[in-house]
Amino acid sequence: MARRKYVVGNWKMNGGSAAIGEAEAIFAAAAPHTSVDVAICPPFTLIGTLAAALPGATIGGQDCHHAASGAFTGSVAAPMLVDAGATLVIVGHSERRDGCGETDADVQAKAEAALGAGLTVILCVGEPRAVRESGGAIDHVLAQVAGSLPAAFAANRLAIAYEPIWAIGTGLVPTVADVEAMHGAIRAALATRFGGAAQEMRILYGGSVNGENAAELLGARDVDGALVGGASLTAGKFVPIIAAAAELAG
Ligand code: PEP
C-alpha cells in the first residue's frame, strides 16, 4: 500500500521566539506539497507559541515523561504536550537513550503514555558505530524495536525512525543498500508481530539528511520519510527536503 511521506524536523535544544518566523516560512513553503506530511518538534518552550501561530500545523514534543503528573522536576507529561497544542511526540531518541540512560522499557512506557494522551508517536531506534562495524546492526535495532514498541496501537498512530547514532549530526550516512536492509528488516519484524498493519506503519530514516541526499534516501525501499535534525532549523535547508519527498510522492 502507498504510505504518505512524512518529513519531521527535530529542533533539539535550538530555537527561541526568534525562530517563530522560520517555522512560519517552513509551513508556508510546505503547504503546496499536499502529498507530504510535515511536522516540527521544537523545544518545549516553543510548542504553545508555534501551535497558536500555526493552526493546522503539526507541532510535536521531543520527549515526554511516562507519568501523567507528579513529582518529576523538570519533566513534561504527555497530557501537558497536548494541552500546549502538540499532536505528536518523539520518544527514544538516541540523545535520550544514551545521554539520559533511557532503556527500551522506559521508551515503551513513554510511547504508551503518549498514545494514551492522544498523541501520535515517532519512536527512534538505531545502532552505535561499533555495533554497525561488528555486523550486529540489524540484531541491535530489532531488539530495540521489540523492547520499545507498545503492545498494541493503531498503525497510523506510531512511526518508527531508524537513526544510526553514528550518522546523527556527523554528515555520515549509510549506503542506500544498508538503509533498505535495515528498513526491510524492521518491516518484516513488524509484520511478524502485527500482521498486515505493518504495511501501514511508516518507517522514517534519520541521520544527516539534507537537501542533497534527501531524494536518494527518501526514494529507498521501505523509507517513508525523514527525521531531520540540523537541516530542519531553517526553511532554506528544510524545505528542499520536503520538496524532495513531494517529488517522489508524485
Ligand atoms: C536527529 O537527531 O534526529 C537527526 C537526525 O539529526 P541530524 O539530521 O542533524 O543528523
3-state secondary structure of 18: helix
| Shortest-distance atom of ligand 1 to CA 12 | 2
For cell 532503556, name the residue. Answer: 103
| Mean residue pLDDT across the chain | 97
Q: For residue 195, how far is its CA from the centre of ligand 1 (angstroms)?
A: 30
Whether pLDDT at 153 is above 90 = yes
User: Which residues are the active-site residues?
Assistant: 93, 163
3-state secondary structure of 39: strand
Which residue's C-alpha comes closest to atom 6 of ligand 1? 229
Q: For residue 154, how far is its CA from the centre of ligand 1 (angstroms)?
A: 26
Q: How confident is the model at residue 2 (pLDDT cuts 50, 70, 90)?
A: confident
Whether pLDDT at 48 is above 70 = yes
| Shortest-distance atom of ligand 1 to CA 93 | 3
For cell 501537558, name the residue. Answer: 80
Whether pLDDT at 114 is above 90 = yes
| Shortest-distance atom of ligand 1 to CA 230 | 9
d(CA 148, CA 109): 8
Q: How confident is the model at residue 115 (pLDDT cuts 50, 70, 90)?
A: very high
Instruction: List pocket residues of ligand 1, CB cut-off 6 Å.
Output: 10, 163, 168-169, 206-209, 227-231
Domains in the chain, please, with CATH? 5-199 (3.20.20.70)
pLDDT of residue 192: 97
- What is the pLDDT averaged over residues 204-220? 98
Q: For residue 70, how far is its CA from the centre of ligand 1 (angstroms)?
A: 31
Whether pLDDT at 5 is above 80 = yes
Q: How confident is the model at residue 250 (pLDDT cuts 50, 70, 90)?
A: confident
What confidence tens digit (pLDDT) does each residue in 181-193 have? Answer: 999 999 999 999 9
Give the percent of the chain with pLDDT over 90: 98
d(CA 227, CA 69): 28
- What is the pLDDT averaged over residues 130-158? 97
State the cell numbers at 8. 519531521
d(CA 132, CA 120): 29
| Shortest-distance atom of ligand 1 to CA 163 | 5
Q: How confident is the model at residue 1 (pLDDT cuts 50, 70, 90)?
A: low
Q: What's the farthest any 2 CA atoms get from each other in the chain?
A: 49
Pocket test for ligand 1, best of 208, 223, 237 (most atoms within 8 A of CB): 208
Q: For residue 233, how far is its CA from the centre of ligand 1 (angstroms)?
A: 11
- What is the pLDDT averaged over residues 53-57? 96
Pocket test for ligand 1, best of 40, 162, 168 (most atoms within 8 A of CB): 168
d(CA 48, CA 160): 25
Pocket test for ligand 1, best of 7, 228, 238 (most atoms within 8 A of CB): 228
Which residue's C-alpha comes closest to atom 8 of ligand 1? 229
